[in-house]
Structure 1
């Protein structure tokens, strides 16, 4: 199986042409995402569409998530090979429960979680959010909001239940609402006719990795070349999606998710780049997908202090750096952005 760092040609099409003429036997693998196809999955669809995965030896099937789909359960049952995790909290809990899986890459350096407020209301600073009602969903309340309480002095009484209907936020100009920087602000702009103030939690200390790739220990041990190909191929897919022509990936997304629009895709890609969601911090020097021990420990310590992560776990049991930090895609990015 081909390794990207050993290939001189960086564009996926060039890589494919550089391979021997003899047909390559591909290894079939399945990747389960955590929601319906969208720009937040763009690098994976790009790598599938432009032949990047195939060039290093994989026949990849992407299984979309959704409200009635639990791809993480399919991973645990051995029915898919890779799963898109949300942030590191799930992996922390997996270790505590004795589940033999590891995070093998983190394709988002920042979680896209934000708080939003109305403009022109004096709610223009992170500190000002402590004085208003905030519409927060149950999962958010049990996770990042507990960190906001512990680290920043927010209070439980501020929280109002969020049912993923923006109407209460739109009606109350002195309120705030959770969202993803790539999604909810776009909806607010169209429904409310204004651009909300955006506060990315990652820029205020919520330093989890996001859009992780999880694999069972058995997969890592028995199919290391396939794991490496998927991790590195995905990194290159993200480079091509963000800095090259994303039309091939977008075409697949639009085909698989008829409710998606080109306008939403364009907005999301712009926000991924503007806020450094995929490509920032260590990824700038180590390549997209980068992780470090220090960063993982930092987030774990914060979550333990907030009471939302198990304390007595061995962090090496929930991740491996074997397949990341090799600078894959940096040359391709330089080529596309020069």
Structure 2
């Protein structure tokens, strides 16, 4: 009897041990499967690179917000964001295939298309470009015609708006000076005027005790979209679902920025320590209407119209800066905009 009981207990322990082993194997197997699935999800992310228009700044908040909050990953994209700058051509980088997404002014995109580079604009960060001409506040300048009164005007080489200003206002081409990004010539000369971003240079000069006034280029009648997001036509046609995912992610980024702009400030400072909360607060105040106003107020951030693009094409053609054979249908698309 005792022997039978001992044998039964031994068998029970054996079965229990066997069951525990099977449970352990099953659990281990499940964990391995979950790990494999996680690895598979990571592998499935589409690797992309985008080139911004400048060093990390709040003017590109939609892109950086999406990076900070993981909106790209949620959309299935593993995104690498590289900053632009004075020596960086996003158009050259994207057209060569080294990046899929770039950022430039609308007229720059048209120059590229005119040269046979098949780019397509899919999103406009700024409805109204923050580009402008600044001057010393005590000069009493109220219109672009006032700039014709002996001012040295610093603009980037090849700026389309400069040709427009010379054509439309009492400004002579001999007044032009090459803008290098250094404001010292402007600071030392009361009869100097300089290109600027309304979100940036006026703030920094104010910190130095220099008061400025400005005229926005968009108010001259020349109004390209600012910081246009573009890709190549080939990439768009081969990967429409990826372009859609990208536009969805940055749209969510811009909408999040509108609701809580200060949340992205520290992230941008990590990327660009030269930035400060004070400067970005100032920039946000200046740019809110430029990003979310106009057509964006009705149709959503990033929106573009055929009328605006056609007007710009016509202006550049009249100025002999592009050829006449650019079709507006080849320049941009709204199919990815919500």
Q: Same fold (TM over 0.5)?
A: yes
CA distance in 1 between counterparts of 2:100 and 2:153 reads: 36
* 1:75-95, Cα deviation, whole Å (9 max, x unpaired): 11212111112x122222232
In structure 2, do the counterparts of structure 1 residues 278 and 134 end up closer, same or farther at CA, with 3 Å as the change threshold? farther
Aligned counterpart, 1:206: 222
- Aligned residue pairs total 298
| 1:32 equivalent in alignment to 2:51 | yes
In structure 2, do the counterparts of structure 1 residues 31 and 149 end up closer, same or farther at CA, with 3 Å as the change threshold? same
* 1:3-58, Cα deviation, whole Å (9 max, x unpaired): xxxxxxxxxxxxxxxxxxx8654322211112211111111100111122223322
Aligned counterpart, 1:215: 231
Aligned counterpart, 2:331: 318
CA distance in 2 between counterparts of 1:91 and 1:55 reads: 29
Residues 122 and 333 in structure 2, CA contact (< 8 A), matched pair in contact too: yes
In the TM superposition, 1:38-187 aligns within 5 A as 38-85=57-104, 87-139=105-157, 142-187=159-204
Residues 75 and 216 in structure 1, CA contact (< 8 A), matched pair in contact too: yes
Aligned counterpart, 1:13: none
The alpha-carbon deviation at position 108 of structure 1 amounts to 0.9
| 1:236 equivalent in alignment to 2:252 | yes
Which piece of structure 1 moves more, 303-312 or 31-40?
303-312
Residues 94 and 231 in structure 2, CA contact (< 8 A), matched pair in contact too: yes
Gap regions ≥5 residues in structure 2 = 1-36
In structure 2, do the counterparts of structure 1 residues 123 and 93 end up closer, same or farther at CA, with 3 Å as the change threshold? closer
Aligned counterpart, 1:267: 282
Which piece of structure 1 moves more, 259-268 or 211-220?
259-268
Aligned counterpart, 2:301: 288
CA distance in 2 between counterparts of 1:322 and 1:172 reads: 48
Residues 240 and 246 in structure 1, CA contact (< 8 A), matched pair in contact too: no
CA distance in 1 between counterparts of 2:127 and 2:54 reads: 19
The alpha-carbon deviation at position 68 of structure 1 amounts to 4.3
Higher helix residue share: 2
* 1:248-296, Cα deviation, whole Å (9 max, x unpaired): x3233222222222222222112112xx221121111111110111110
Cα RMSD over matched residues? 2.1
| 1:257 equivalent in alignment to 2:272 | yes
The alpha-carbon deviation at position 224 of structure 1 amounts to 0.9
Q: Which TM-score applies when normalising by structure 1?
A: 0.81
User: 1:297 pairs with 310, 317, 322, which one?
Assistant: 310
User: Highest Rg: 1 or 2?
Assistant: 2
CA distance in 2 between counterparts of 1:88 and 1:245 reads: 25
Residues 155 and 178 in structure 2, CA contact (< 8 A), matched pair in contact too: yes
CA distance in 1 between counterparts of 2:202 and 2:250 reads: 27
Gap regions ≥5 residues in structure 1 = 1-21, 327-338
Structure showing greater relative contact order (alpha-carbon pairs closer than 8 Å, 6 or more residues apart): 1
In structure 2, do the counterparts of structure 1 residues 79 and 179 end up closer, same or farther at CA, with 3 Å as the change threshold? same
The alpha-carbon deviation at position 99 of structure 1 amounts to 1.9
The alpha-carbon deviation at position 301 of structure 1 amounts to 1.0
